[in-house]
Amino acid sequence: MQDRTITLTEVRDRVAGLRYMTLAQAEKLEGFFAEQDIADCLELGFYHGVSSAYMAAILEARGRGHLTTIDLVSGAARAPNIDALLGDLGLSHRVTVHYEPRCFTWRLMRMIEADPGPRFDFAYIDGAHTWLVTGYAFLLVERLLRPGGWVLFDDLDFTYATLVKPGRPMPDFLRRMTAEERATPQVRKVWDLLVGPHPAFHNHREDGRWAFAQKR
């Protein structure tokens, strides 16, 4: 572990060339965490762990807080994987990583089973991007958010149709969707139909591809 907190720019330099979260997004979160006094965080979907590293660096600089993050077991084989990335940055102590065989909703079930009480100030939902998984994940996350806690959705208008490449065979997971499912921004359906009218949420705000809502 280094003897001083790591800056977001230093994280950016370490994750150069890796997808997904950008430095500009991380800086927005830094301001948001300070403004809302965010400490305990949940993340659904970490890929290489870029967003996890940024959030962990923000918490480290704030001197408190923890991130619990969940993805699929396939994430362990990524180079680098989240464990290597966080280890290199000296941030492993700020993050609990869960690798799930099928879906982060299973881990959320286990968490609710272990303790049904709310425990997070912030939940970043950045995985799956389907009505089925994101919609259900949101309903589970609502149970785990403290009053006043925030949910943040990424990729509000993502469609699976953008992954269809002309002249190339369609991967099985895309073929299994109807053309309507592929063409529908499914996170936005969750936002419009579940988050917007949900009686437990207010202060809805869109910011580019991000959408924030606060639990009352």
Q: Where are the alpha helices (DSSP H) in 21-130?
A: 23-36, 50-62, 82-89, 104-114
Minimum distance from CB of 147 to ligand SAM (Å)?
Answer: 25
Minimum distance from CB of 48 to ligand SAM (Å)?
Answer: 6
Between residues 184 and 199, which has the closer beta carbon with respect to ligand SAM? Answer: 184
Minimum distance from CB of 202 to ligand SAM (Å)?
Answer: 25
Minimum distance from CB of 207 to ligand SAM (Å)?
Answer: 15
Closest CA to 48 of 20, 72, 70, 67: 20
Element (H, E) at 204: strand 201-207
How many residues make up the chain in this entry?
216
Q: Which residues bind ligand SAM (CB under 6 A)?
A: 20-21, 45-47, 50-51, 70-72, 75, 100, 103-104, 126-128, 133
Minimum distance from CB of 125 to ligand SAM (Å)?
Answer: 9
Between residues 52 and 60, which has the closer beta carbon with respect to ligand SAM? Answer: 52
Between residues 24 and 63, which has the closer beta carbon with respect to ligand SAM? Answer: 24
8 A C-beta contact, residue 123 and residue 42: yes
Give the separation between CA 205 and CA 216, rounded to whole angstroms.
14
Between residues 83 and 100, which has the closer beta carbon with respect to ligand SAM? Answer: 100
Closest CA to 70 of 93, 42, 44: 44
Provide φ and ψ at 130, rounded to 5°: -110, 155
Please calculate the CA angle 188-119-53 and round it to the nearest 5 degrees. 70
Between residues 72 and 145, which has the closer beta carbon with respect to ligand SAM? Answer: 72
